[in-house]
């Protein structure tokens, strides 16, 4: 790692996942300065990152409710990554689930392409989870 005096820092905003909808995010709850080299070495990303409290427990990733997670926006029409974990809005709530291109033998909650849409019972991805505070995924 680079010496702290020479390190570049970036502002990482924190949002409430319950205040994000099709219109976007409200202003951040707060912003935390983080070392750019740490973000890259830990998460493989340095821009467009934000943090939020996990909306629920998710056993497959050992995430407890309110654990701080690192996310990146998922824009409508953007390709979903097979095997990646996302925040989805569904039935007025927010859940964490894995995306898969087809059914597989995974025991964890999985969303398939046929489940995604804009009806209330369908899943709408709005963020990809890229790490947990102090632990990449």
Q: What is the pLDDT of residue 135?
A: 58
| CA 20 to each of CA 28, 39, 88, 93, 124: distance values in angstroms, whole numbers, following the listed order | 11, 24, 11, 11, 12
How many domains does the structure of the chain reveal? Answer: 1
Query: For position 11, what pLDDT does the model report?
Result: 95
Quote the pTM value: 0.86
The neighbouring-strand residues paired with 135 are 132
Query: Which stretches of 44-132 are assigned E, i.e. beta strand?
Result: 49-53, 68-73, 85-90, 93-99, 110-111, 124-132
Nearest to 3 by CA among 35, 51, 45: 35
CATH code of the domain in which 69 resides: 2.10.109
Per-residue pLDDT averaged across 11-37, rounded?
88
Residue 43 inside a domain? The answer is yes
Q: Looking at the domain assignment, is residue 1 inside a domain?
A: no
What is the token pair recorded at 37? 């080299």
3-state secondary structure of 41: helix
Question: Does residue 50 sit within a domain?
Answer: yes
Range of the domain at 80: 9-136
* 4 within a domain of the structure (yes/no): no
Cα–Cα distance for residue pair 9/53, rounded to 1 Å: 22
User: How do residues 57-101 score in pLDDT, each as one tens digit?
Assistant: 998 888 899 999 999 999 888 999 999 999 998 888 899 999 999
Find, among 134, 47, 61, the residue nearest to 95 by Cα: 61
Q: Please identify which residue in the block is written with the tokens 């995306």.
A: 99
Q: What pLDDT, on the 0 to 100 scale, is given for residue 22?
A: 65
Instruction: Quote the pLDDT of residue 81.
Output: 96
Mean pLDDT rounded to a whole number for the chain:
89
Return all residues near 81 (Cβ < 8 A) that are at least 6 apart: 99, 128
């Amino acid at each position: 790692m680079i010496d702290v005096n020479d390190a570049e820092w970036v502002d990482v905003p924190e949002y409430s996942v319950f205040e994000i909808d099709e219109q976007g995010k409200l202003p951040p709850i707060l912003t935390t300065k983080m070392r750019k080299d740490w973000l890259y070495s830990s998460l493989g990303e340095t821009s467009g990152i934000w943090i939020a409290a996990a909306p629920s427990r998710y056993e497959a990733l050992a995430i407890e409710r309110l654990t701080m997670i690192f996310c990146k926006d998922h824009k409508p029409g953007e390709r979903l990554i097979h095997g990646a974990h996302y925040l989805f809005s569904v039935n007025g709530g927010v859940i964490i689930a894995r995306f898969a291109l087809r059914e597989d033998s995974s025991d964890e909650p999985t969303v398939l392409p046929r489940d995604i849409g804009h009806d209330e019972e369908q899943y709408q991805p709005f963020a990809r989870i890229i790490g947990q505070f102090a632990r990449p995924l």
